[in-house]
Amino acid sequence: MTKTSKTTTPDNKGLGGQIFAGMTQQEIEQLTQSALTRTYKKGEYIIQAGEQGDCFYIILLGKVKVLIPTRDGGAHKLLTFLDSGDCFGEIALVLQTRRSADVVAVKTTKVLVISEQKALDYMSEHKQIMFNLLKYSLNRIYQLSLDSEISSLKSQEKVYYFLKWRLAQQDKEQRYFIPKQEFPSMQEIADYIGLHRSTVHDNIKILLAEQQISLETNCYFFNL
């Protein structure tokens, strides 16, 4: 049975260190002060594929496994294991989409739960955590398995997610743009995410039309 208790504050050196890098202990406490800790028994589902992503989790203690649904509807495929200090659930939060995987406790596991509203409010004031969250989630998703994790996304989401990943990768000064000469080619994007070049081109046009990105003074700006 899931148990809920008061929050335990992580620090910026160990627990959740990649998310909280560059933040002071006071800033971390401001983010986590209203968060809850929940404890799950071995075999309990923490999140399930198809659910709306309304929070993300930091593992305080324990271990979980990440499973993704197969296309044929058979047994879920094991994607990876996550341990104390790791985060999960941030991908659906960043993309504002539904969960693409199940996360199940391998043994008794305690997690810190940070709500969507709390995270978004804080990110609007503290851009550092927004970039940390982007870097963490985007690096992890591509390192683990681009085919398995991204395959559940629509083509437009794939393109936008890849572009945000590139922004986070090259962004050393917390910029919100990519110079036009550094913007990846249509073929590079297509090869990386497994789409046809014309599909990528069409989706870039949609992103521009919807003002998710904009082209100004030879730079592509991201409306984060």
Residue where a domain stops, chosen among 113, 145, 177:
145
* pLDDT computed for residue 15 by the predictor: 43
46/94 same-domain check = yes
Look up residue 74 and give its DSSP letter.
Answer: -
From the list 75, 59, 48, the residue with the least C-alpha distance to 15 is 59
- Residue 163 CB neighbour total at 10 angstroms: 20
Whole-number Å distance between alpha carbons of 193 and 178: 19
Angle at 85 between CA 173 and CA 114, to 5 degrees: 75
Number of domains into which the chain is organized = 2
Residue with tokens 């070049």: 197
106/214 same-domain check = no
117/160 same-domain check = no
* pLDDT computed for residue 12 by the predictor: 42
Asked if residue 133 is part of any domain, the answer here is no
- CB of 129 closer than 8 Å to CB of 20: yes
Asked if residue 110 is part of any domain, the answer here is yes
What is the distance of C-alpha 97 from the center of its chain? 11
85/31 same-domain check = yes
Q: Is 151 helix (H, G, I), strand (E, B) or coil?
A: coil
Q: What are phi and psi of 149, to 5 degrees?
A: -85, -35
Whole-number Å distance between alpha carbons of 51 and 48: 6
- CB of 85 closer than 8 Å to CB of 16: yes
Q: Strand 219-222 vs strand 177-179: parallel, antiparallel, or unpaired?
A: antiparallel
First to last CA, the chain: 38
Q: Is 212 helix (H, G, I), strand (E, B) or coil?
A: coil
From the list 99, 106, 116, 101, the residue with the least C-alpha distance to 82 is 106
165/103 same-domain check = no
Query: What pTM was estimated for this model as a whole?
Result: 0.56
81/7 same-domain check = yes
96/10 same-domain check = yes
Residue where a domain stops, chosen among 86, 110, 145:
145
Residue where a domain stops, chosen among 88, 118, 145:
145
- CATH value at residue 16: 2.60.120.10
> Mean pLDDT by 10-residue block, N- to C-terminus, for the chain (224 residues)?
46 53 74 81 93 86 86 68 84 76 93 82 71 70 53 76 75 69 87 82 92 89 78
DSSP H helical ranges for the chain: 17-20, 25-32, 90-95, 116-125, 127-150, 155-170, 186-193, 197-209
Q: Domain containing 96: what range?
A: 3-126+140-145
Asked if residue 134 is part of any domain, the answer here is no
Q: What are phi and psi of 122, to 5 degrees?
A: -70, -40
Whole-number Å distance between alpha carbons of 30 and 9: 10
